[in-house]
A and B are shown apart, each in its own frame.
Chain A
């Protein structure tokens, strides 16, 4: 596709996320241009990155680019992705795949027809500790995995209150489809993509729409609660066809400490992953954990417990994700991690959880 001079990437959607992608691309470095419907965002982007900008996806796609990254609100993923496939471009979408299951299906079908590379940005999957745990599962180190506990709970971390993030029509849901989709990807991956049998759970919305919502840090703009019809917390219990189970605790806001963690319970060994980023940080250095501990019981000499703390480099998962995508674009080989088929499975499960627990609050 491209020669040694490197790939040129188009970024669609120049909000906070599009800017993150631009920053990562300029560090790697890659050339990129951007598009947004909002003229203010275009101007800010052009100034910050000295990059070309366009007001429509069509204009961007007709310029000289090799692949695109979609960072728009969820509802617009489909129209942009399918257009990109028609232009013969490879696509990395920010998670989730789409705002609804039907829309997600159409994206997958279009990607298949075009035989394009299509990946979805479940970037926590690229953290070294998550990758290590997954490979231990795959090798059978833990034995049969019987239960996973996945928690992504923020003390106060509603993204962009009153923006598209909190609109059911545009985002397709709240905390579950936003941060919960990361958890679902990882849980399903640890369970080797077992088929779901039964879902139960509850949703709540007790914080985000309140006028007195107080916080230390927010992703995106705070427009108060003017648009807010999504859940800010969900608890669910999943039973899979192979008998394994999972417990999910997802919240944008709860009166507890922030956690992003997983417990993997296997018949031979277990593990705990802690990749919490508290968002409480007032200092510029965020509190980002990178912990993986393996729990075993042995009888060598006398019965004893073994807790193994895994020491590994703390990578920037966002950057690893982009590198994986760009490598796939360069080689033309569709990647295993976070591909569109897996993303569609996540979307199916999201949709089933909303159906069982209620999607309107």
Chain B
């Protein structure tokens, strides 16, 4: 799992520009004053950064606030198109949402978190808790634990030790020993569960997708409220559905150079 390299040479102003983009996302827009405080820079410096980004189309000004702009979606869209699992499985995820009525997602592993590449809401689904592109920790989500289970135990543990095991709900796994047992059961069953470990009242089932050479390309998940994801459906029916879809995606991906689908 590749982390970003913070060692070595880096250009401060570029780092600052990205930090600004992150802050604007977290705050859903900020004034120059608020941003300068958050950055620890003068107002004029903050303003220079923002107006440069505005002229490039990556932020826009509305009233007194700067917000992220659509040029970022152009970049994001291009990134998503490049992800193999997105190209291979989005149609299946769409069907998964329609068949189950719940929220179906494609998740990619990036920098020790899971990023939502694509999500489709079935007929029963309410607004999802995580937005498109949203980043979620590994230790408390079904897809995240499925990713961890692909790794040797030692490596998985080093990652969660580094990222920490934040408590989100009563059910969040916060002990390494518990996580170790959980990952073992995920490996043997081939499917991972989130039983209200990230959000109260929300359950999720996920499984990973690998290429023929064994490279992890992402995970497919389905999630919904505990009232609908009840015993039999949560423990058997949805895991089967998700595994059937992931299995078919893997086989199709194996023969991708054999067919015209790309």
Contact = CB atoms under 8 A, between A and B. Distances in A.
B interface bracket (residues with beta carbon within 8 Å of A): 20 to 34
A228 B237 CA distance: 12
B252 A75 contact: yes
A55 B240 CA distance: 32
A307 interface: no
If over half of A's interface residues share one DSSP class (helix, strand or loop), that class is named, otherwise mixed; here it is loop
Interface string A307-345: 000000000000000000000000000000000000000
B259 A170 contact: no
A56 B260 CA distance: 12
Contact of A226 (B212, B247, B256, B260): B247
A226 B258 contact: no
B251 A73 contact: yes
A interface bracket (residues with beta carbon within 8 Å of B): 20 to 34
B255 A72 contact: yes
Interface stretch (A133-141, A161-169, A259-267, A290-298): A161-169
B254 A37 contact: yes
B255 A227 contact: no
A80 to B, nearest CB: 6
Interface in B195-212: 212
A209 B237 CA distance: 12
Name which of A39, A57, A225, A226 has the most chain B CB atoms within 10 A of its CB.
A226
Contacts of B10: none
A218 interface: no
Interface in B210-262: 212-213, 240-241, 243-245, 247-248, 251-252, 254-260
Given A167-B247, A170-B252, A227-B244, A56 B257 contact: yes
Contacts of B258: 37, 56-57, 72, 76, 79-80
B137 interface: no
The 6 closest A-B pairs by CB, nearest first: A227-B247, A169-B248, A79-B259, A229-B244, A167-B248, A76-B255
Interface of B: 92, 190, 212-213, 240-241, 243-245, 247-248, 251-252, 254-260
